[in-house]
Structure 1
Amino acid sequence: MSAPRPAGRRLVLGLLAVLVVAVLAGGAVLLAGRAGDPEAVPEAEPGPVLLVPGYGGSTASLQPLADRLTAEGRDATVVAVPGDGTGDLLASAGALGEAVDAALQRSGAESVDVVGYSAGGLIARLWVADGGADVARRVLTLGSPHHGTTVADLARTLAPARCPIGCQQMTTDSELVIGLNAGDETPEGPDWVSIWTTQDATVTPPDSARLDGALNLPVQSVCADARPAHEELPADPLVLAMVVELLAAGGPAELGPDDCTRLGG
């Protein structure tokens, strides 16, 4: 075939330009569609609950909460995270995504609730940011270092060999923490709840657990004399009662001192 003449070349180039513009315009439409906020998941029909352990990955620490939720008629699963829970939190978010898919397929539900304990709260937020907002009805975190913890800062400085990637990602200046908190800390989609204790010596300062845009509930705002430590949060009777109430059908209710006795504090 002979090469196109000059006029023919101009026609071919013109057609190519039109094609490129059309492709780019189509891509822009797709990106615009993806950029929209997800629709809120219906509140009235709670689905399975996925419980995400903290640094170290001990699933046993969350078993009391799983048992309590099961006793209340909920479908509760503790998620096993890779790398003994000290590895890359992004990989753990992927494991949470797989567990969510399995729970939805098994139950036939349209949404899930996620409870993240300690680093598990960061894992839950990473999962939401990677598409989980479409199926998350509620995300509740327990003593999570949403703005990092100075304990991880200290570990990185004094014993770097004992501060693997999961530890490094929880430092107050980590790229992961800064990225999660850039802009909107609580993206549209799920309801967000953060529970923590002022007695926390692991997440320091304790109000690093405060999440902008969430229902923030220090345990002591409900029962002023409560003294659970960080490691006691997943099994503390008052905290268990708070979690059950906050994961019930309907929107999460503000809790306060008037609820202390009723919740067993």
Structure 2
Amino acid sequence: MLEALSPQRRRLVLGVLAVVALLVLALVVTLVVRAVTRDGPVPQDRPGPVLLVPGYGGRTASLDPLAAVLRSEGRAVTVVDLVGDGTGDLDAQADHLADVADGVLRTSGAPSVDVVGYSAGGVVVRLWVRDHGGAAQARRVLTLGSPQHGTSVAALGAEVAGGCPTACEQLLPDSPLLRRLNAGDETPSGPEWATVRSSADQVVTPTASAALDGALNVVVQDNCPDATTSHYELPADPVVAATLRSTLGAGPMASPGAAC
């Protein structure tokens, strides 16, 4: 069939076929990487690299205190850059997180990753675990001030503005995405789960929205009663730093204890 084409058209067709073959090969490699990690539960006593997932808007600098604590403990840390401006579809962000996890596992040779999701990033992490292969790749998941059941602040913003970006709409209480995510088991098998929230959080309201059934749920004020930690101060809070150490180590997950 190619013999009937002119040399120029033949080269064009062969070039297109080569590109298609490379794309198929890349897809196969990705699927193989994900399949290899599905052989069984990841070892809980072998902490691997840590992925940090930022919140709504994707501001990675907000995660600097977390990265500093983890690196001081000798952990390799990757801060995930969200797709676009970080206000788009949370499912698309979860798919991007899957690609980042694949790359980190491939280059590090580690059997698993630990993942910390801050604010809306915690919802992204749960979507990744549930729908994008993360259940076979994550050893531990820790979410910080995450609107797992929505926040009235998003509802108020949408009402006042007559609508809000996709991620904001998805974080409305009882949104279709959150109904699907919270149906059944909120902490599906695979990783071990922990959450941290502050009773002084005025962004994720009610603050109990950040808790998950089946997780180790830490409240800042249970450890430091006088703490006034806001939503934006969570990454630098000493209770959060202590929780990183007590949940992401080689031993079993544990509450951090007093860290004032």
For the aligned pair, the TM-score class normalised by the smaller chain equals 0.7 to 0.9
Aligned AA (1:146): Q
Deviation at 1:38, TM superposition (A): 8.2
Where does residue 129 of structure 2 map in the other structure?
Answer: 128
Select the residue among 149, 158, 162 that pairs with 1:160: 162
Percent identity for Structure 1 against Structure 2: 57
Displacement after TM superposition at 1:236 (Å): 1.7
Corresponding position of 1:22:
none
Residue 41, structure 1, aligned to residue 42, structure 2: yes
Contact 1:137-1:191 at 8 Å conserved across structures? yes
Q: Secondary structure at the match of 1:83?
A: coil
Runs of 4+ aligned residues of structure 1 deviating over 4 Å after TM superposition are none
**Aligned equivalents of 1:223, 1:106: Cα separation in 2:** 40
AA matched with 2:158: R
| Structure 2 stretches lacking a partner, 5+ long | 1-34
- Contact kept, 8 Å, 1:38 with 1:189, in 2: the verdict is no
Instruction: Tell me if the contact between 1:40 and 1:188 (Cα under 8 Å) persists in the aligned partners.
Output: no
In the other structure, the counterpart of 1:84 is 85
Distance 1:84 1:38 in 2: 35
The one-letter code of the counterpart of 1:238 is V
1:230 matched to 2:228: no
Superposition deviation, residue 254 in structure 1: 2.9
- Counterpart contact for 1:201–1:229, Cα < 8 Å: yes
Letter in 2 for 1:86: T
Q: What secondary structure, in the 3-state scheme, does the structure 2 residue paired with 1:152 have?
A: helix
Provide the residue aligned with 2:100 in structure 1. 99
TM-score, with length taken from structure 1? 0.81
Change (3 A) 1:75 1:170: same
Conserved? CA contact 2:50–2:116, under 8 Å: yes
- In 2: Cα distance, 1:214 partner to 1:39 partner: 21
The answer as to whether partners of 1:147 and 1:181 remain within 8 angstroms in 2 is yes
Name the counterpart of 1:68. 69
How far, CA to CA, are the matches of 1:214 and 1:92 in structure 2? Answer: 23
Amino acid at match of 1:142: L
1:241: Cα distance to partner? 2.2
Residue equivalent to 1:205 = 206
* Partner residue, 1:149: 151
User: What do you get for the CA RMSD once the two structures are aligned?
Assistant: 1.6
8 Å CA contact retained: 1:38, 1:133: no
- Relative distance call for 1:151 and 1:169 in structure 2 (3 A) is same
TM-score (norm 2): 0.82
Looking at structure 2, the residues matched to 195 and 39 of structure 1 have their Cα atoms a distance apart, in angstroms, of 28
